[in-house]
Structure 1
Amino acid sequence: MHFDLPEELVALSDAVADFANRRLTDDADAYERSGEFPYPLIREMGEAGFFGAPFPESVGGNEAGFMAVSIIAEEISRIAPAYGYAMNMQCATCPYTIYNWGTQEQIERFVPELISGRTIGMFALSEAGGGSDPAGAMRTTARREGDHYVLNGSKMWITFSNAADVGVLFAKTDPKATPAHKGVTAFIVEPKKFEGYSAQPIDMPGLSKSLRSCTIFLDDFKVPVENRLGEEGKGFGIAMNALEFGRLTVSARLTGLAQAALDASIAYANERVVGGGPIARHQLVQQRIADATVHVEAARLMARRIGWTMDQGRTSTRVASRGKYFATQAARLASDVAREVFGGNALTAEYPVQRLQSYIDMLTVGEGSENVQRVLIGEDALGIKDAARHTMRNRFVGVT
């Protein structure tokens, strides 16, 4: 066993970093100032092939695989944190869920446009009162009327939902089903095509003003029957499967954020002079930098292990949950170290510490909070509940 990346993935990492430095820093600032959604930049990312890594060429992908997804997500998040969102909405959770569970007609209709960045995607599972029980607490309903469903309710924390053309959204077709997850159905929704849909951006200090998370409101919103994803009552399994691929990207994104915080700390420690020398010479600073360095490296290995496991067609539930949990710990530590090293300057807009902290805080919740992961990992380790109990589907490698 060796841990060196293949040459093509090293080249990919360099190419992503070059693109992010050229296109997702200064150019993105104009969109931040205006608050406009950066459609051209998302499309450029799609044209560069960033979203097509886990898709076959037949639908516009490049077949680079899930290890490539982890590398792309990490590099983008290290340099331009807000654009890491796109690796979920345009790659992992939205189009890959359609590719994984959709009919051939649905795949051909929606996936190529999403991964090219020509259309914008979203993944709508969470609700305001849902927390860690998305099925039991789900209040959004879908009632069939002839050749379409009528959806009513709301979703919360849905990224890109104010710009989305296409989304995977979950609602209860049988609110009285027992257990509750048997009443959940998945749908491919088209917000701009049918009335009864609105999205209100959530004010999230420190985060992007152009790439937003929103509350969605559905008021007799129509979804054609042909847009149902999978069978009625099978949506919860689809959602759980989708979250595995989401945890891959979130783990990598947290690793990228952690590396950015660590890089900033190292640079500042070497330039900040106190008592006649750089604070990098202080043993306590060295100790904290060492702690963060080891955690970031371990998080990177775990994130890439998730991608490797998926590329092998193996069940990834355990490694995805463990990887996401540990990446959260590493990112928190790197952020804490940065605040300690920067001191009062960590609070200023001149340095990136507060901004990175905001994105880390957001991602510790996404795709299952730390405590949700602890429960999953603990119950699995103790033999109480099998973490791999849900169906694992990964059409990229032919696993169903």
Structure 2
Amino acid sequence: MDFDLPEEMQSLRESVRRFHETEIAPALPDYEARGEFPREIVRKLGEAGYFGAAFPEWLGGSEAGFLAVSVIAEELSRLAPELGYCMNMQAMTCPYTIYNWGSDSQAEAHVPDLISGRSIGMFALSEAGGGSDPAGAMRTTARRTGDGYLLNGSKMWITFSDAADTGVLFAKTDPEAEHRGISAFIVRPKDYPGYHADPIPMSGLSQALRSCAVFLEDFPVPEENRLGAEGEGFRIAMNALEYGRLTVSARLVGLAQAALDAAVSYANERVVGGQAIAHYQMLQERIADSVVAVDAARMMARQIGWTMDQGRTSTRVASRAKYLATKAARLAGDTAREVFGGYALSDEYPVKKLNAYIDMLTVGEGTENVQRVLIAQDVLGIKDANRHSLRNRLRNQT
């Protein structure tokens, strides 16, 4: 058993580093200063092929696979946490849901532009008050009209929704049927009236790549833009979140590694009592614990991608990996705070920003307690975590 990344994956990771040096680092601060969505950077990321790893060549992808998605997501988040969200909106939960559940014509109409970065994506499931049961608590409705649907309601914490060109949005076609009444739709926010997105102020996070509250008032969706059958939306959403755990787990590992790198560098520079604080035993203990946790989380995050590449159901490993990545990222972020002391609050250093993104991602695709429940019920024989097969169109599995 070889635990080293294949050579092509190592090359892929190095290419992300070079891309960051040449295209992201020089340009992103200006977008942040203006509070402007960095469409040009996203387009260049797409053109470089970073969003298309899990897609077939006929849609513009490379078929590099899901392990490649994990590697890209980790490295991009380590270097540019703001852009890590692209690995969901442009590479997984939005475009892969369309590819996975849509017809060939739907995939051809939307996926190439999303993974090339020409079109900005979003995934609109969560609602205010939905908590850890976003589907069951859904209030947004989709009422049939002569040639499609009219959507009414609101969504919350929808990333890129103020910039999105294409999205996957969930609404109830049968409000009385609970989970079985949910349907999924491909939406085009800029093509029709009745859509409005308000950015949510969040301290420490990007002012250019934002999450928003979305409001829908008689927003029209043509019937041909429904994904799957009416009432199939809950299954589609749960399937999509599993692919989201692939990227979120890897992104948490990238953030954890960035926090650990910052802590190690500063510990060797900061002198107290005539020597670098790296020589103090209690600090060494914290660093050691963080190193082991991050390495373990990385292995599990990559195991999700490997499992998906085998065409196997990955719910069990995805839940465990998300939980472990959350724990590792929190530990690394807290370690960095302790090492930097008061400077951890300064914008001069990356610790404040890294911890803000860690806090955000610990909620995404299922909180720690949600993962604990899934893991415990699986082990105790209450509910088999892998009881539902994973639709994986790239590997021709259902």
The answer to whether the aligner puts 1:183 opposite 2:185 as a matched pair is no
- The total of aligned residue pairs comes to 398
Provide the TM-score with structure 1 as the length reference.
0.99
- The answer to whether the Cα contact below 8 Å between 2:70 and 2:301 also exists between their aligned partners in 1 is yes
Q: Which shifted more, 188-197 or 345-354?
A: 345-354
Aligned to 2:290: 292
**Paired AA for residue 5 in structure 1:** L
Aligned counterpart in structure 1 of residue 247 of structure 2, from 230, 249, 255: 249
Give the deviation of 1:380 after TM superposition.
1.2
Whole-Å separation in 1 of the counterparts to 2:189 and 2:389: 29
Whole-Å separation in 2 of the counterparts to 1:381 and 1:233: 30
The answer to whether the aligner puts 1:211 opposite 2:198 as a matched pair is no
Whole-Å separation in 2 of the counterparts to 1:21 and 1:249: 22
1:336-373 C-alpha deviation (Å, 9 max, x unpaired)? 10011111111111111111000000000011111111
Give the deviation of 1:172 after TM superposition.
0.3
The answer to whether the aligner puts 1:338 opposite 2:336 as a matched pair is yes
Coordinate RMSD, CA, aligned: 0.7
Consecutive unaligned residues of structure 1, counting only runs of 5 or more, are none
**Paired AA for residue 274 in structure 1:** V
Aligned to 1:4: 4
Percent of matched pairs sharing the same residue = 70
1:182-228 C-alpha deviation (Å, 9 max, x unpaired)? 00000000101011000000001100000000000000000000000
- The answer to whether the Cα contact below 8 Å between 1:237 and 1:390 also exists between their aligned partners in 2 is no
The within-5 A match list for 1:185-334 is 185-334=183-332
Provide the TM-score with structure 2 as the length reference.
0.99
- The answer to whether the Cα contact below 8 Å between 1:241 and 1:390 also exists between their aligned partners in 2 is no
- The answer to whether the Cα contact below 8 Å between 1:265 and 1:338 also exists between their aligned partners in 2 is yes
- The answer to whether the Cα contact below 8 Å between 1:143 and 1:149 also exists between their aligned partners in 2 is yes
Give the deviation of 1:18 after TM superposition.
1.2
1:237-289 C-alpha deviation (Å, 9 max, x unpaired)? 00000001100000000000000000000000001001111011111111110
- The answer to whether the Cα contact below 8 Å between 1:21 and 1:79 also exists between their aligned partners in 2 is no
1:78-110 C-alpha deviation (Å, 9 max, x unpaired)? 010000000000011000000000011101100
Aligned to 1:99: 99
The answer to whether the aligner puts 1:361 opposite 2:359 as a matched pair is yes
Aligned to 1:111: 111
Whole-Å separation in 2 of the counterparts to 1:24 and 1:30: 10
**Paired AA for residue 140 in structure 2:** T
Consecutive unaligned residues of structure 2, counting only runs of 5 or more, are none
Aligned to 2:130: 130
Give the deviation of 1:390 after TM superposition.
3.1
Give the deviation of 1:387 after TM superposition.
1.7
Whole-Å separation in 2 of the counterparts to 1:138 and 1:266: 45
Whole-Å separation in 2 of the counterparts to 1:183 and 1:387: 23
